[in-house]
A and B are shown apart, each in its own frame.
Chain A
């Protein structure tokens, strides 16, 4: 659904808070890629990313009437907050279990759309995301948020600052350190990167926020 050029975001958001379906669809169309990419960057698995994206938007309609956001960036921060909570809940549920998940049926997510997809395509996608996602996992929480919001979601340093409650200068400093760290970690797998001192593989497990 295309956003009508004459429709201010604030108006659509106010209508969506009254559960107006057209406005909800407009918000959904605008933020679906944002939320999906956020989840995919943290999970590395397209299926899981879709599951948590779905949970995020269902929570959005359940809570939007109580949202205080009135403009786009505040709404994005609110929605990304929901997405992050869903992610944390997922990681919390997984804590203490050996990966991967085989636990069924108590906690197995509904709404799998696996029948529509080619599992082999999923396998190769998983392998290609794997190294980038693992490198992102090694960053600190702040660094990871800055890299995701700036480089994956495409927000400016000023907007990332507003989303995270930081000054743009602090965001740029975090971004610099985060990308330097990311460059070192991807160095081993990425021939397109100039050579930097190679790090020994980390024994650290996945650090999920």
Chain B
């Protein structure tokens, strides 16, 4: 007990910046606490802090707009359970009058709740009809759109409906891009556009009237051309994760986009490190659609030195251990036009151990010769 208090006192001193000598048995414990010092001093980047504050305040404005009257309300207190009084227990027993027994009261409440739910649900559907991508009721609106499409039996009308929905979603996407919105407003709009445009293509196959077919096919082509232009324009302004989604959307429209099929990480000693402890990892990405000037991306940022690029292979070197590169997160390729492709989680292979082997001598190339260890998916 006394040791625990003493440790706590010594910790308090250290947290206040006063270093005191600790008795022998406590020294290792204080040293362990000291190991946490870097964490105690860690801080997010200033750019992140600014961006998050702006996002948070934007969200606060949205919440305030969604609940104009409830923002200052505290959670309502649970109604107190009042013991039944003689008067409340008095049953109404006259002819045609309801006897308010406990079960009757429960029925009454159930009726009230059911009516309220029906009313609320109806209200939600009415309000959701105008919900915009990223809004809290947008999922309900999409549900309504899907139901409406399924209930439309005429193939011409159904194709036109999907085309209209896709056009509205593309417009919402362009607005979000123009307003530098990177959140769900943009991604909801993009996902809806792809889903509706694809559904329009499928519905067109059921149109038998040749004139209507030709008209809708022209409209579909026009929408695809317009969307390709809009999405390519958006690629230049968005951060990586959004660029990735846009690239996938372009692929869904039939545009040639990069695809990663495999990533191989091969580790070797870093010849530039005279101590022999440094590691250099050769990242080889195979796939298709890589453009001249493409780069390897780690978590969306260009990394390492590009050694070579061809249409189906890109090779780069990163000064870090292979396991550290692998654990960094998604390994991707970024084309100069902004399109990007990422490795599938099963497509990354580490072909050599991250740990140095004391007896292994680097070859002329600076590597260990034959790769060690088993491939790690």
By a beta-carbon cutoff of 8 Å, the part of chain A in contact with chain B is: 17-19, 21, 24-25, 28, 32-33, 36-37, 40-41, 46-47, 49-50, 53-54, 57-58, 60-62, 65-66, 68, 97-105, 108-120, 122-124, 126-129, 132, 135, 147, 150-154, 156-157, 169, 172-173, 175-176, 179-180, 182-183, 186-187, 190, 192-194, 196
Contact with A along B22-41 (1 / 0, CB 8 A): 00000111111111101110
Q: CA–CA, A97 to B31, complex, Å? A: 35
Interface pair A110/B187, CB less than 8 Å apart: yes
Q: In the complex, what's the smallest C-beta–C-beta distance from B11 to chain A, in angstroms?
A: 7
Residues of A within 8 A of B51 (CB): 113
What sequence of 0s and 1s flags, for each residue 333-361 of chain B, a beta carbon within 8 Å of any chain A beta carbon? Answer: 00000000011111110000000000000
Q: Is A194 in contact with B27, judged by CB distance below 8 angstroms? A: yes
**A53: which B residues are within 8 A, CB to CB?**
44, 52
Whether B40 lies near A179 (C-beta < 8 A) is no
Contact B57 A172 (CB under 8 A): no
Q: How far is the CB of A94 from chain B (nearest CB, A)?
A: 11
Interface centre among A112, A119, A193 (most CB of B within 10 A): A119
Q: A100-B327, A132-B35 are in contact. List 12 more A-B contacts (CB 8 A).
A: A24-B60, A104-B244, A112-B299, A114-B299, A117-B45, A119-B328, A123-B320, A132-B36, A172-B4, A175-B4, A182-B32, A183-B31
Which listed residue (A18, A40, A111, A154) contacts B241, Cβ 8 A?
A111
Task: Give the contacting residue for B75; candidates A61, A68, A103, A135; CB below 8 A.
Answer: A68
Asked if B137 CB lies within 8 Å of chain A CBs, one says: no
* Chain A residue with Cβ nearest B3: A176
Q: Name which residue of chain B comes closest to A132, CB basis.
A: B35
Residues of chain B within 8 A (CB-CB) of A147 are 33, 36
List of B residues within 8 angstroms of A104 by Cβ? 244, 330, 342
Which residues of chain A are near B8, meaning CB under 8 Å? 157, 172, 175
**Residue from the list A58, A111, A169, A196 in contact with B182, Cβ < 8 A:** A111
A-contacting 9-mer, from B64-72, B93-101, B139-147, B225-233: B64-72
Q: Determine the distance from Cα of A37 to Cα of B248 in the docked complex, in whole angstroms.
A: 35
B329: Cβ under 8 A from any A Cβ = yes
Are the C-beta atoms of B32 and A122 separated by less than 8 Å? no
Cβ–Cβ contact A61 & B59, under 8 A: yes
Selected A-B contacts with CB under 8 Å, 18 pairs? A28-B53, A28-B56, A53-B44, A54-B55, A104-B244, A111-B182, A114-B301, A115-B300, A116-B45, A150-B11, A152-B39, A156-B12, A180-B32, A182-B32, A186-B35, A192-B31, A194-B27, A196-B28
The answer on a CB contact under 8 Å between B40 and A152 is: yes
Contact B44 A36 (CB under 8 A): yes
Chain B proximity of A110: nearest CB distance (Å) = 5
Please name the residue on chain A nearest to B76 by beta carbon: A66
Contact call A50/B48, Cβ cutoff below 8 A: yes
From B43, B47, B328, B344, give the contact of A100 (CB < 8 A).
B328
Interface contact A105-B244, CB-CB below 8 Å: yes
Closest residue of chain A to B24 (Cβ to Cβ) is: A194
Query: Which of B182, B241, B242 has its CB near the most chain A CB atoms (within 10 A)?
Result: B241
Asked whether B241 lies within 8 Å of A109 as measured between CB atoms, the reply is yes
Residues of A within 8 A of B32 (CB): 179-180, 182-183, 186, 193
The 10 closest A-B CB pairs, nearest first, are A102-B345, A114-B300, A183-B32, A179-B29, A114-B299, A119-B298, A182-B32, A18-B72, A183-B28, A172-B4
B42 interface contact, C-beta 8 A: yes
Q: Which residues of A contact B33 (CB under 8 A)?
A: 147, 151, 179, 182
In the complex, the chain B residue whose C-beta lies closest to that of A59 is B59
Q: Is the CB of A24 within 8 A of B31?
A: no
In the complex, what's the smallest C-beta–C-beta distance from A161 to chain B, in angstroms?
11
C-alpha spacing A176/B3, complex, angstroms: 8
Task: For A180, give the chain B residue with the smallest CB separation.
Answer: B29
B329→A101 contact, CB < 8 A: yes
Interface membership of B273, Cβ < 8 A: no
How far apart are the CA atoms of A150 and B330 in the complex, in Å? 34
Contact of B63 with A32 in the complex, beta carbons under 8 Å: no
Kindly list chain B residues whose C-beta atoms are within 8 Å of the C-beta of A109.
241
